[in-house]
Amino acid sequence: MTISVAMTVNGKPVSGKVEARTLLVQFLREHLGMTGTHVGCDTSQCGACVVHVDGKSVKSCTMLAVQADGAKVTTIEGLAASADKLHPMQEAFRDNHALQCGFCTPGMVMSAIDMVKRHNYQLDEATVRHELEGNLCRCTGYHNIVKAILAAAPAMKAAGV
């Protein structure tokens, strides 16, 4: 059985027909061609698939596309203001060497932005480490990821994002 879904993805209205069991991550990647959102574990353990749905971070491998019908979805591709101007969190990840292979990076960045906002731009290392428990990275050891998130919080506040 196919169902019509419509949502706003990265500021643009999109729609499509999906099977009722289609996951949001599948809709984004396979129907819309937005491959920045990664599929890592298929069990909601790794966080590589995190996107924002109506401003909150969500593991898109655990949400059906039909559940996002009518929602505002932001993926890693929708963060940068332009090709030349990255989101402050993306800049902080780059500047603090918070990535290696890059596979977990989209989910880490999306989770981190929500984390910073939920904590009103006031974070400490212990809070960041605790909040990252749902995101796995096999390359960096998290040290530079934590540094990046702490560096991005005041930059995000200053930029009003």
CA atoms within 13 A on the CB side of 5: 26
CATH number of the domain where residue 13 is located: 3.10.20.30
Residue in this structure with the two tokens 């949001």, named with its chain if needed: 24
Which pair of structure tokens corresponds to residue 115?
């984390």
Within 10 Å of residue 79's Cβ, how many Cβ atoms?
20
Residue where a domain terminates, one of 76, 101, 125:
76
pLDDT of 43 = 80
| H or E segment and range at residue 137 | none
DSSP code at position 94: H
Q: What is the pTM of this model?
A: 0.95
pLDDT of 12 = 97
129, 137, 160 from 103: Cα distances, Å: 19, 8, 28
CATH number of the domain where residue 153 is located: 1.10.150.120
Within-domain flag for 32: yes
pLDDT of 140 = 75
pLDDT of 83 = 78
Within-domain flag for 81: no
Domain span including residue 44: 2-76
pLDDT of 42 = 75
Give the mean pLDDT per block of 10 residues along the chain (161 residues). 96 97 97 95 88 97 97 96 90 94 94 98 97 89 94 97 94
Are 20 and 44 contained in the same domain? yes
Within-domain flag for 49: yes
CB-based contacts of 146, cutoff 8 Å, min separation 6: 125, 128, 129, 132
